[in-house]
Amino acid sequence: MMAFLLACTGANEPPRFESYNGLKVKYLFGFAYPDGELGEELIVSAGERFDISIDVSDADGDEIELLFPQAPLGWSFEANSRKGYWMVPETYWSDHITLQVLAVDENGGASAMFLTYYLNDVVLPPLGIEGLFFKGGMLSTNLNKDLSLSLLVLLPKLVSKNRET
């Protein structure tokens, strides 16, 4: 056990998110979240410019790169200034989006923060089969969440019933 502890003392520390839009960032089970955001809704309105500021540090003094995998349309972020904005679209396929923010240092250390934004006044696709989307393995529709869950549960039954006929 002592050899293991000694071998780990020189390990690279991952970057840490310090703040998001002026809110202190906390950690739960290794994932970062803005203080007050856990369980609270981040609401943005269709057509607005939503400004974003992220502060991140590295205990080892390593250079840090911020990455935004699958960032939404209209996303613009200056990595050097740690500031950016999102031009919230007027139309979107869902009433919310979860943004993943990765802070990666030059030695491979990484931290992740997930931000879920709820889109106010966004125009959703029409109802019907064209209103259903399979995105990332999830079913989403512009109907209420209870009906979406019902569709997710019933859809395999409907498909298998149609195959039988």
Q: 81 with 162, same domain?
A: no
CATH number of the structural domain spanning residue 30: 2.60.40.10
Q: 111 with 78, same domain?
A: yes
Q: 25 with 103, same domain?
A: yes
More confident site: 136 or 15: 15
Which domain, by its residues, includes 139? Answer: 125-165
- What lies within 8 Å, CB to CB, of 146 at 6+ separation is none
The pLDDT confidence band at residue 143, using thresholds 50, 70 and 90, is very low
- 82 is written with which tokens? 């740690």
- 32 is written with which tokens? 């970062």
126, pLDDT greater than 80: no
Given a contact cutoff of 8 angstroms between Cβ atoms, the answer to whether 26 and 35 are in contact is yes
The span from the CA of 21 to the CA of 51, in Å, is 8
Residue percentage of the chain with pLDDT more than 90: 41
Residue 6 lies in a domain: no
**pLDDT at res. 45:** 92
Please identify which residue in the block is written with the tokens 């195959």.
Answer: 163
* Strand, coil or helix: 162: helix
Q: 141 with 115, same domain?
A: no
Average pLDDT over residues 49-64: 94
Residue percentage of the chain with pLDDT more than 70: 68
Q: 117 with 152, same domain?
A: no
pTM, two decimal places: 0.67
Residue 8 lies in a domain: no
Residue 5 lies in a domain: no
Q: For the segment 91-125, what is each residue's pLDDT rounded down to a tens digit?
A: 888 888 889 999 999 999 999 999 988 989 989 87
- Planar angle of CA 103, 107, 112, nearest 5 degrees: 20
The pLDDT confidence band at residue 129, using thresholds 50, 70 and 90, is very low
Q: 133 with 63, same domain?
A: no
Q: For the segment 8-53, what is each residue's pLDDT rounded down to a tens digit?
A: 446 899 999 999 999 999 998 888 988 875 556 788 999 999 999 9
